[in-house]
Amino acid sequence: MSGSTAMRADALVLGGGIVGASTALHLRQRGLSVVLLERDRVGQRASGVNFGGVRQQGRALAELPLSRRARQIWGDLPRLIGIDGEFEVTGHLRLGRSDAEMAVIEEHCRAAAGYGLQIELLGRNALMARFSWLGGVIQGGSFAPDDGQANPRLVSPAFGEAARRAGANIREGIEIVAGRAEARGFRLVARDGSEFFAPRLFNCAGTWAGKVAAWFDEDVAIKPEIPQVMVTEPIAHRIGPVLGVVGGDLYLRQIPRGNVIFGGGEGAVSEDWLRSRPKPAVARTTARTAVGIIPHLKGAAVIRIWTGVDGDTADGSPVVGPSRRHAGLFHAFGFCGHGFQLGPAVGAVLVDLAVDGRSDTDISGLGIERFLDRPR
């Protein structure tokens, strides 16, 4: 393996989910040459099969500045990637079913206001007057008017296509099996023996990114998370906003064509994390929760149940930011099942950091050091 045979670029992006594809696109916008390496197809896994929520409300406060920046990008998606990806600003309604859940909602409304996120707190009566299809189990909720939904099957691959059009070298079907830091940059080795080398490396490898970080002595434990989602046949369109409940055991949206998409709980995953499948019992629990909250769903037929594989960190928030050991290495992973909305901004912020050395978006609470400092 001689270094002279490696494909070289200004930057390597490992992983072609929405995070990696967005990073590649933003790198090209700053004029850097980039090779993106994806084991399967761009946007095929968690980025392409997730629920499709585009939500700021309910996030950990450390994620909110990133989420706010992402929301700006979502509003300008056609300019960036050429399609709107069915993004619609329908609002997001967070629901509480008990005093304890309502306390969580109230606290979040107060805290989020400090980040410029306006959320409207609604009592039970106001909620029922406005959303008459809600069932009796709901105590109250909060409405975030700027949040919305989009079609992940379209958006995530479109980031890859946009990056490709902008000149990124998108290499699909290449599995990277080893990586190492060298004096002038980072070397990645594919299963077929081919090598890639660049002074900058972006670790956007999703569920597998913890293992990638370990190649560079920054081992972060990542546990697979298997969100399970289902969709009904089209029914009359009544549900405007995206719904979520405190605790996350139900999230739900209805698209204009009438299908209701909803999820909750987790499916099963193979040992290599590559294949996942729904658990029937989880589908039944989620369906019962859904009917409790929206009784008119009872007669709608479920036509498909699916799952995807994302990565969970120990504290429920992602790792976004520079390596603490190697200049030029950046991490973005562990999105814990809620990375779709953040994805477009993650690329923008990482490229700010890589090119300008700083970013206006505060990601100080998302650094990898919070796991490195912790005793194993």
Partner 1 sequence: MSIVVVGAGPAGVRAVETLIAHGQRPIWIDESPRAGGQIYRRPPENFRRNSRTLYGLEAAKARRLHGAADAAARTADYRPATLVWDICDGAVQTAGPGELGVVPFDDIILATGAMDRVIPFPGWTLPGVFTLGGAQVALKAQGAAIGRRIILFGTGPLLYLVAYQLAKAGAELAAVLDTSPASAKRSALPRLLADSIMLAKGFYYVAWLKAHGIAMESGIEPLEILGTSHAVGFRYRTAAATQREVAGDAVAFGFGLRSETQLADLAGCRFAFDPLNRQWLPAMDEEGRALGVAHVYLAGDGAGIAGADAAERAGERAALALLTDRGIAVSNARRRWIRHRLARIERFREGLERAFPFPAHLARRMADATILCRCEAVSARHLRASVAGIGAEELNRAKAHCRVGMGRCQGRVCGAAAAEVLAAALNVEIAAVGRLRGQPPVKPLPVGLL
* CA pair distance 95, 105, nearest whole angstrom: 8
**Which one, 223 or 296, has the nearer CB to partner 1?**
296
The one-letter amino acid code at 74 reads W
Q: Is 191 exposed, middle or buried (0-12, 13-18, 19+ CB in 10 A)?
A: exposed
Min dist CB 286 to partner 1, Å, is: 8
C-alpha torsion 42→44→45→46, nearest 10: 80
Helix (H) or strand (E) holding 34: strand 34-38
**Which one, 91 or 160, has the nearer CB to partner 1?**
160
CA atoms 205, 206, 207, 211: torsion sign = positive
Helix (H) or strand (E) holding 215: helix 209-215
User: Tokens 């100080």 — which residue?
Assistant: 364
**Which one, 209 or 305, has the nearer CB to partner 1?**
305
Site string for partner 1, 160-179 (x = CB under 8 A): xx------------------
**Which one, 10 or 38, has the nearer CB to partner 1?**
38
Q: Does 157 bind partner 1 (CB under 8 A)?
A: yes
* CA pair distance 335, 345, nearest whole angstrom: 13
- Asked if 340 and 50 count as a contact pair (C-beta separation under 8 A), the reply is yes
Which residues, numbered 207-236, are part of the site for partner 1 (CB under 8 A)?
232-233
C-alpha to C-alpha distances, 61 to 286, 326, 338, nearest whole angstrom: 27, 27, 14
Q: Which stretch binds partner 1 (CB under 8 A): 58-66, 73-81, 154-162, 367-375?
A: 154-162
**Which one, 254 or 313, has the nearer CB to partner 1?**
254
Site size toward partner 1 (CB under 8 A) is 33
Min dist CB 330 to partner 1, Å, is: 27
**Which one, 75 or 135, has the nearer CB to partner 1?**
135
- Asked if 335 and 19 count as a contact pair (C-beta separation under 8 A), the reply is yes
- Asked if 295 and 253 count as a contact pair (C-beta separation under 8 A), the reply is no
Question: In terms of Cα–Cα distance, which of 337, 353, 324 is closest to 345?
Answer: 353
Which residues, numbered 268-307, are part of the site for partner 1 (CB under 8 A)?
268, 277-280, 283-284, 287-288, 290-291, 297-306
Count the residues in the chain: 376
Which residues, numbered 41-100, are part of the site for partner 1 (CB under 8 A)?
41, 44, 48-49
**Which one, 134 or 363, has the nearer CB to partner 1?**
134
Q: Which stretch binds partner 1 (CB under 8 A): 7-15, 70-78, 153-161, 198-206?
A: 153-161
Which residues, numbered 180-199, are part of the site for partner 1 (CB under 8 A)?
none
* CA pair distance 134, 13, nearest whole angstrom: 44
**Which one, 30 or 279, has the nearer CB to partner 1?**
279
Radius of gyration of the chain (CA): 21
Min dist CB 306 to partner 1, Å, is: 6
* CA pair distance 299, 235, nearest whole angstrom: 10
**Which one, 86 or 147, has the nearer CB to partner 1?**
86
Interface contacts to partner 1, rule CB under 8 A: 41, 44, 48-49, 153-154, 157-158, 160-161, 232-233, 268, 277-280, 283-284, 287-288, 290-291, 297-306
